[in-house]
Amino acid sequence: MAASPHRSNDQPHDIAAHLMDQALGHLFSAALRTAAQHRIADHLSGGPRTAEQLAAATGTHAPHLRRVLRCLAARGIFREDATGAYGLTPSAQPLRTDVPDSLHPAVLMMTDELFLRTSAAMPDAVERDGASFERIFGAPLFAYLQSNPVVRRLFDDGMASLSAPVDEAVAEVYPFPESGTVVDVGGGRGGLLRAALRRRPELTGVLFDQPPPLAHHLLDGDELKGRWRTEAGDFFVSIPEGGDVYVLKHVLHDWSDGDCRRILRSCRTAMAAGTRLLIIDSVLPPGNTPHFGKTLDVAMMATVDGQERTAEEFATLLSAEGFRLTRVLPTSAFPSIVEAVAE
């Protein structure tokens, strides 16, 4: 039996095998997409099944499917038992389509060629200014999405899926006011606004974004009836006035510092002095500390010419547009809450 390429303390035992394993990371992404496309996790919701049983249920080739599942099981996605059957692990559960906060749409989005081709062109992004996405697809990401409704739906579904655990984590941690109005700027389908309104029965909200995500918002239902409205617009131009708390969740990381300042300028124009602004994004730790945001950062670089930031970088952006950073609150999800006050 071959030795494991890793020591128990996570230092590589076989440096060559470790490095090549990292170099072939795109194969793990492809294997994960394969499992998601064929809804393997759904087929395992009733208990472990063999590759042959799964192949019969999904119309796939059993020997090849077994090898894909073995690759995923080696990284904690699924688990092979002594009989050769595969079962769900905690990391595989979110791949199910029938569970709350399913990440199935997010996996399909992140493993789509839209991002795979962009990631493969990362050397180009490093060598030249601007995102490689635009050079590959002929337009910046958000302009491309506007002209491609099928891809836009994939993107919106994926972002809503990725956001769901974050929405609950933020609403649980942050002390939203008992009453007043929350303006969710670039809020997508409104998952965070919904989570906040559910916890504060007297709170009202405005969901502000472009028409495509607003058309599929999540705010309907008797529980929130009469407590919200949607408004379409461009946050580079203006945003709704009169809010008590403004939220930018997964917005600033899409943009360069210059564009972020334009967005913050629009916010400050709409906000009265003393009004709070919440930025929900990764806050990068210093040095070699592992953090998902550091992976996301290079994805932003290649895709939209955006970036993840440190607390100091957020403070600099905010102070330039009339805000003062007051605190950074961690959440149980990967982003943190950067709270600022309009001065």
> Residue 209 in contact with residue 186, Cβ under 8 Å?
yes
To 5 degrees, how large is the angle CA 10–CA 14–CA 17? 100
> Residue 329 in contact with residue 176, Cβ under 8 Å?
no
How is the beta sheet containing 49-50 ordered, strand by strand? Answer: 49-50, 85-87, 79-80
R_g of the chain, CA atoms, integer Å: 22
- How far apart are the two ends of the chain, measured CA to CA in Å? 65
64 in active site? no
Q: How far apart are alpha carbons 320 and 194 in whole angstroms?
A: 31
Q: How far apart are alpha carbons 117 and 111 in whole angstroms?
A: 10
Token representation of residue 189: 């389908």
Task: Point out the catalytic residue in the list 64, 216, 253, 291.
Answer: 253
Token representation of residue 297: 């950062």
Q: How far apart are alpha carbons 327 and 338 in whole angstroms?
A: 6
- CA separation (Å) from 231 to 167, 189, 285, 308? 20, 12, 35, 27
339: CB partners within 8 A, 6+ apart: 174, 276, 277, 278, 325, 326, 327, 328, 329
Enumerate the active-site residues.
253
